Structures are given as C-alpha cells and as structure tokens.
Amino acid sequence: MSQSKNFHPALAVSNIRNHVPIILEMENVQYSTWAELFKVHARSNKVLHHIIPPPEDKAKATVEEEDADMWATLDATVLSWIYATISNDLLQTILEPDATAMEAWNRLRDIFQDNKHSRAVTLEQHFSTTKMENYPNVSAYCQRLKSLADQLKNVGAPVSESRLVLQLVSGLTTPYRGVGTMIRQSDPLPPFYQARSMLTLEESGLAKEAAMASDSAMVVAPNEDDGSPFVPSHSGQGRVQQHSGRKQQQNGRKNSGGRGNGWPARTATATESILGVGSVS
C-alpha cells in the first residue's frame, strides 16, 4: 500500500480543541451544540462512520476501503477526540477498556437524552425566569435564552420562534422597554436574530449617550473673588451671574435702607412684568 493511500486527513488533526472548543459537562448542558460541532468535524475528516453507522451499502464500501489496522487507528483517533472534549466527571463515567468510538458516543447520548421529561421541566423553569438584569450585556442575555431553547429542543420540548422573542422582550430591563414595546407590537413578530440586533443597536445608542453625558459633566472649582462656584460652561456661567446679581441686589437694598433715600427704585423682573406685579412707583 502506497504512502499516499495510507495517509488519512483525520491523522493530521493535532488539537481537536481548535475545532470543538466546547467542553461537554454535566452541569452546563450543551450536548446538542457539542454533538453538532463534533459531527461536522468528523464528517470533514471522513470519520463520521466511526460514531454514526452509515447505510448498509456505504458501510460495506467503507470496510473495503479501510484495512483492519487503519480502521483501528482511526477509531482510536476519534475516541481520543471524544475524551479530550468532555469533562473529567463524564470521562470517568463512560470510560471502559477497549471501547470503540461509537460506544463512547452512544453512552454520552444516553446520558444527556435519558429522563427527557425531568430535564424539560428544569430547563423550562430556567427559560421562563431568565432576566436581562442578571447578565452583563444584551449578547450574554440573548445567548443564554438561545442556549436554553436549544436544550429544550434537544429533550423533545422545542420552543417556538415567537415564544422565544416574547420571552426575550419580557425579561428586558427598564432602559430597553421602548424597543421592547416596538418588538412586541410588531405583526408578525420579528425573528429572534432580528430582535437581538434591535436590542444590540439600542445598547450601542445608550452607551454613546452615557459617554456624551460623561464628557460634558461640569467641573466645579472655587472662585477666588466671592467664594461662589465657577463653572466653565455656558449654563454654569448663567448660574454664577444669577447668583452674583442676587447678591448685588441684596447689597443695594441694605445700603439704601429702603425707598426714598436717593437710590433708584427696583426694576420689576421679567416674570413680574408679565404677571403685572412687583412694579415700583
């Protein structure tokens, strides 16, 4: 057998974690995502038949193409991929001497797909109580909802697109209620990914507004003349001038001692003129 015929693409994979970055764990259930990534990688490297039985006609052709030694080598390679992408607890649970890759694959499938009804109840409770306030941003919140929806589908309790969008809206925090109302009142409801995009844009807008407010915050410094605060902004100067005007007016009243001593009469303010009060004869 020639060297080119002995070469198999699966043998060139040096690190399976580069292709299947998820570590399958009992606590953080991501079996459907892990399994799909693993099957895609196995198919691209022509070893899918080591974990999923092919049709009988293809199985016979595959056996003829691979001799016993090559089959054993490839099966051990796929088995090592499985072991490298699961947690230590799962590894101890499924590990058995002389096991094939398909046997290990089937054990994992049975672990995560047994007791579907009990899992569905627990996942449904998590799904319906997920709130945005418990997550740092829109992306993390949406990712959690989508993950729970995928897990519910995996245990035979799929979540419809409209229910996923409505649950997304119902868990929003106060700053996002406006865009949430727009989504809820749309007929038909937008797809989940479109609703997610709308919330992401809203998050970006809120972040820009917060940054602008921070940049335009007033810097207060002491005024050396009269101790009044000096604010180097247009609105701040207005307040300083009003304060200074009131202070001078009070000093004028004090020095005049009242009307009739030669000082000019007080001029009515603009508000008093409009209301017809406060004029001085």
pLDDT digits 0-9 by tens, 98-109: 999 999 999 998
Q: Mean pLDDT in the chain?
A: 79
Return the residue matching tokens 């088995």: 79
How much is the CA Rg of the chain, to the nearest whole Å? 36
Query: Which segment of 68-82, 193-207, 210-224 scores lowest on mean pLDDT?
Result: 210-224
pLDDT for residue 250:
53
> How many whole angstroms from its chain centre is CA 121?
24
Q: How many CA atoms lie within 13 A of 196 on its CB side?
A: 15
pLDDT for residue 213:
82
Name the 3-class secondary structure at 259.
Answer: coil
CA dist 66 to 44, 47, 73, Å? Answer: 17, 11, 10
Give percent helix, percent strand, percent coil of the chain, each to the nearest 5: 65, 0, 35
List, in sequence order, every residue forming a beta bridge with 221; answer none if it has no partner: 230
Query: Which segment of 51-60, 152-161, 162-171 scores lowest on mean pLDDT?
Result: 51-60
